[in-house]
A = this chain, B = another copy of it.
Amino acid sequence: MFGFGKNKISTDSYKGVRDFYPEDQSIQNYIFDIMKKTVESWGYEEYNASILEPLDLYKLKTSEEIINEQIYSFKDRGDRSVALRPEMTPTVARMVAKRMQELSFPIRWYSIPNLFRYEKPQRGRLREHWQLNVDIFGVSEFNADVEVIQIASQIMKNFGSKPEDFQIKINSRSLMDDLFKKIGIPDSNKSELLRLIDKKEKISEDNFRNSIKDLIGEDKTTSLFENLYYGEGIFSMLGTLESAKYIRNVIQTLRDRGVSNIVFSGTLTRGFDYYTGVVFEVFDTNPENPRSLFGGGRYDNLIELFSNRKVPAFGFGMGDVTIKDFLTTHNLLPSKKSTTDLYICIAPETNIEEVYNIASNFREQNLNVVVDISGKKLAEQLKSLDKRNIPFVTTIGSAELENGKFAIRNTKTRQEFLGNVLENIEFIRSNNQ
């Protein structure tokens, strides 16, 4: 039954996913904490669901590429088709639709689910990643768009990044619709055209123009390109239309609220088919690596795929892999901080029970304490502290137990303090940050 013998089991994880050792998890926790604190300060409430969903949930709406090439799916033992969720939006839409009658709108929800896509693992793209999802349901007015984009910007600021470190590009599907109508692009070409425009940054200017020309012809392409590159001038061309007023209002309100790094981008379309209004995407401004960090938009027609009621929605998804890369590149990750406050080494022939009793005193005062029960020599006990970033250490032996006093050392400053339990607790409290 046991696998003893020469053939050891591989210690490799599954391809394209990550093991989180404590030093990795502490970075994840830092990132998740900033995300959570920011969105909760805006009154968003956490929800969650299983990573397993019925495969049918994705058949009707997600972009085709994901369904056909990237979804993890299998049949369970009861012959049900199951998927590992590739994104959270269909799940949250399902959950909102299910409790439509009981929920009092508007609702503000967030979650940090893990998601799976079968991709060739590469920088910034893994098979599993975690993604903050922030959504507001039940508000069709532009205030919802503004609030959610402002939150996205606030999270970036709370990570310590400056407005010049990132740029928020914004566009509107309704505006694109109006533009397409003005130019005379047939409805049948619309989806494909949006997809081609979305690929702009990934291909050469020539290829880009040619691919569009093949679809809609030379004249319309010229007309389209004049508008796409017009920047915010597009507003004066389409100025009387609701779609132009709307997005102009979103941009202006965000600027008034201090989101200075937002710019209109006529070529921003976002991949998913379900967007219906404003879409936005946040980019790293680093010229060496001006990649997309995350984005979102308005999707007013998704809930009615599940329900007879229409519920307007606006949200975004922010992935941990790209954000961690961004924070690393911009030197914004804090140095690792241990969750442990004090490490107690034990001198030879000391009554361990008395040391455990002292540790309990610290714990009752909400300090986190390790007692070294390795039975190793003192030098080795101290060595096991290496790289753990625990801020305080002490050694307790029979003499210390007798005196009731022991010396606490700050592992960074090397400052020492001699005191009884209460004094030591106070010392740690006032010197720990």
A82: which B residues are within 8 A, CB to CB? Answer: 14
Q: Tell me whether A56 and B369 are in contact in the complex, defined as CB-CB below 8 angstroms, given that A45-B338, A363-B42 are known contacts.
A: no
Which segment, of A166-174, A232-240, A322-330, A370-378, faces chain B?
Answer: A370-378
With A95-B19, A105-B374, A353-B256: A301-B2 Cβ-Cβ less than 8 Å: yes
The 8 A CB mask of A248-287 against B (1 = contact, 0 = none) is 0000010011000000000000000110000000000000
Contact A373 B106 (CB under 8 A): yes
Is A229 interfacial (CB-CB < 8 Å)? no
How distant is A1 from chain B, measured CB to nearest CB, in Å?
6
Docked CA distance A216–B294 (Å):
65
Q: Could you tell me the distance between the alpha carbons of A397 and B395 in the complex, rounded to whole angstroms? A: 62
In the complex, whether A334 has a CB less than 8 A from a CB of chain B is no
Selected interface stretch from A136-144, A177-185, A405-413? A136-144
Q: In the assembly, what is the distance between CA of A161 and CA of B16, in Å?
A: 42
The reply to whether B386 and A104 contact each other, CB–CB distance below 8 Å, is yes
A373 to B417: give the CA distance in the assembly, Å.
54
Is A366 an interface residue when CB atoms closer than 8 A count as contact?
Answer: yes
- Chain B residue numbers with a CB within 8 Å of A116 are 52
A375 to chain B: closest residue by CB: B141
Instruction: Please state if A28 and B48 are interface contacts (CB–CB under 8 Å).
Output: yes
| A residues in contact (CB < 8 Å) with B | 1-4, 8-15, 17-22, 24-26, 28-29, 40-43, 45-54, 56-57, 59-61, 64, 72, 74-78, 80, 82, 84, 94-95, 97-99, 104-106, 108-109, 114, 116, 118, 127-128, 138-139, 141, 143-144, 147, 191, 253, 256-257, 273-274, 301, 304-308, 338-340, 343, 352-353, 356, 363, 366-375, 383-384, 386-388
Q: Is the CB of A41 within 8 A of B363?
A: yes
- Chain B residue nearest to A141 (CB atoms) is B375
State whether A41 and B366 are in contact (beta carbons under 8 Å apart), knowing that A52-B116, A105-B374, A353-B253 are contacts in the complex.
yes
Q: Which residues of B contact A306 (CB under 8 A)?
A: 8-11
Report yes or no: A54 in contact with B10, Cβ–Cβ below 8 A. yes
Q: How far is the CB of A152 from chain B (nearest CB, A)?
A: 15
Residues of B close to A308: CB separation below 8 A: 8
Give A15 to B77 CA distance when docked, in angstroms. Answer: 12
Cβ A383 vs Cβ B104 within 8 A: yes
Known A9-B56, A9-B306; 11 more pairs at CB < 8 Å: A1-B61, A8-B307, A8-B308, A10-B54, A12-B98, A20-B47, A43-B369, A106-B372, A106-B374, A106-B384, A141-B373
Residue among A19, A305, A375 with the highest chain B CB neighbour number at 10 A:
A19
Q: List 5 A-B contacts (CB under 8 A).
A: A9-B305, A13-B94, A25-B48, A74-B75, A257-B356
CB distance from A19 to the nearest CB of B (A): 5
Cβ contacts under 8 Å, A118 to chain B = 76-77
Partner of A20, one of B48, B143, B356, B366: B48
Q: Is the CB of A340 within 8 A of B40?
A: yes
A221 to chain B, nearest CB (A): 24
CB contact under 8 A between A14 and B47, given known A9-B305, A353-B256: no
A4–B274 Cα distance when bound, in Å, is 12
Residue of B nearest to A49 (CB): B19
Residues A61 and B3 in contact, CB atoms below 8 Å apart: yes
Shortest distance between the CB of A119 and any CB in chain B (Å): 10
Q: Which of A8, A274, A352 has the most CB of B within 10 A?
A: A8
Partner of A54, one of B12, B18, B51, B54: B12
A53: B residues at CB distance < 8 A = 13-14
Separation of A9 and B77 alpha carbons in the complex (Å): 23
Whether A43 contacts B104 in the complex (CB less than 8 A), given A19-B98, A76-B118, comes out as no
Give the residue among A76, A109, A274 with the most B Cβ atoms within 10 A.
Answer: A76
- Chain B hits for A24, CB < 8 A: 47
Task: Check if B141 sits within 8 Å of A368, measured CB to CB.
Answer: no
Residue in contact with A50 in the complex, picked from B13, B45, B64, B256, CB distance below 8 Å: B13
